[in-house]
Structure 1
Amino acid sequence: MTERPESLYEAVGGIEALRRLSTTFYEAVLADPVLAPVFAHFTPTHVDHVAVWLAEVFEGPARFTEELGGHQGLLRAHLGLAITEEQRLRWMELMGAAVDKELPNDALLRERVMEYFDWGTAIARDVSAAPVDEDLGDPGPTPRWRWDGHS
Structure 2
Amino acid sequence: MTEPGETFVDAVGGIEALRRLSNTFYESVLADPLLAPVFADFSRTHIEHVAVWLGEVFGGDPRYTAELGGHQALLRSHLGLAITEEQRLRWMELMTAAVEQELPDDDRLRRRVVEYFDWGTRIARDVSADPAGTDLGEPGPTPRWGWDGLV
Superimposed CA distance per residue, residues 111-131 of structure 1 (whole angstroms, 9 cap, x where no aligned partner): 000000000000000000113
Q: Distance in 2 between matches of 1:120 and 1:2?
A: 24
Q: Distance in 1 between matches of 2:104 and 2:5?
A: 12
**Paired AA for residue 100 in structure 1:** E
Root-mean-square deviation (CA, aligned residues, Å) is 1.3
Moved over 3 A (4+): none
**Could you tell me which residue of structure 2 aligns to residue 90 of structure 1?**
90
What SS class does the counterpart of residue 111 from structure 1 fall into?
helix
> 1:12: Cα distance to partner?
0.6
Segment drifting more, 83-92 vs 130-139:
130-139
**Are 1:121 and 2:121 an aligned pair?**
yes
**Are 1:100 and 2:120 an aligned pair?**
no
> 1:5: Cα distance to partner?
4.8
**Could you tell me which residue of structure 2 aligns to residue 64 of structure 1?**
64
What SS class does the counterpart of residue 78 from structure 1 fall into?
coil
**Paired AA for residue 84 in structure 1:** T
> 1:134: Cα distance to partner?
1.1
Gaps of 5+ in 2: none
Q: What TM-score comes out, normalization by structure 2 length? A: 0.96
**Paired AA for residue 28 in structure 1:** S
**Could you tell me which residue of structure 1 aligns to residue 28 of structure 2?**
28
**Retained in 2: the 8 A contact 1:4–1:11?**
no
What SS class does the counterpart of residue 87 from structure 1 fall into?
helix
**Could you tell me which residue of structure 1 aligns to residue 147 of structure 2?**
147
Gaps of 5+ in 1: none
> 1:4: Cα distance to partner?
3.7
Segment drifting more, 3-12 vs 67-76:
3-12
Superimposed CA distance per residue, residues 30-62 of structure 1 (whole angstroms, 9 cap, x where no aligned partner): 000010000000000000000000000000100
Give the % identical residues: 74
**Retained in 1: the 8 A contact 2:127–2:135?**
no
The alpha-carbon distance between structure 1 residues 67 and 11, as it changes in their structure 2 partners (threshold 3 A), is same
**Retained in 2: the 8 A contact 1:79–1:130?**
yes
Q: Distance in 2 between matches of 1:113 and 1:2?
A: 14
Segment drifting more, 117-126 vs 3-12:
3-12
**Retained in 2: the 8 A contact 1:5–1:11?**
no
**Retained in 2: the 8 A contact 1:38–1:81?**
yes
Q: Distance in 1 between matches of 2:82 and 2:122?
A: 12
